Structure 1
Amino acid sequence: MLLSTLGGAMVPLSLLPGWAQTIAPASPGYWALQALGGAATGDTAAVLRGCGVLLLVASVAGGYAAWRMNRGWGRSRLL
């Protein structure tokens, strides 16, 4: 919820404080909204840029999860 809000998915970016507007591009929700807005307006570059960033975030998160699982640091060990 926090990342979605900071990305502008819950509240328009213009209503967020300046510091939140500055860090909004660090949120995947920001890039999803950029891609969705580009799709709505027909801006192919915005769609590709947004989807590219989301693919990069997913790849990094998946790689990190695989690395943890390979080392035996999965969630089941903590339960």
Structure 2
Amino acid sequence: MGELSAAYDIGGMLLSSLGGALVPLGALPHWVAGVAPISPGYWAVRGLHAALTGDAHTAAAACAVLLGVALTCGTVASIRLRLCP
């Protein structure tokens, strides 16, 4: 269980930094900006910034993307749990 917890924490930190949640995207290498939108952390930061500036459309779009990611991951987990004996 300790190894799983460590892997989860490291993976979360990597995905968060890839999305610009820990360090601004401008401070990271240029290739990171191209792959950042695949990270949920990117959409969380984008939605937070949009909410703070009053951009309701961008905030709603970021929330929709995060909801889609959550539903997709939940569906995959549910299917995998059903297939396990």
Q: Given the two structures, how large is their TM-score scaled by the length of structure 1?
A: 0.89
1:25-40 aligned at under 5 Å gives the runs 25-40=37-52
Q: Percent identity?
A: 49
Runs of 4 or more off by more than 3 Å in structure 1?
Answer: none
The count of aligned residue pairs is 73
- Separation (CA, whole Å) in 2 of partners of 1:68 and 1:39: 35
Structure 1: unaligned runs, 5 residues or longer: 74-79
Root mean square deviation, CA, Å: 0.9
Q: Given the two structures, how large is their TM-score scaled by the length of structure 2?
A: 0.83
Structure 2: unaligned runs, 5 residues or longer: 1-12
* 1:52 corresponds to: 64
What do the CA deviations read for 1:27-62 (whole angstroms, capped 9, x no partner)?
Answer: 000000111011100000111010000000000000
- Separation (CA, whole Å) in 1 of partners of 2:46 and 2:80: 31
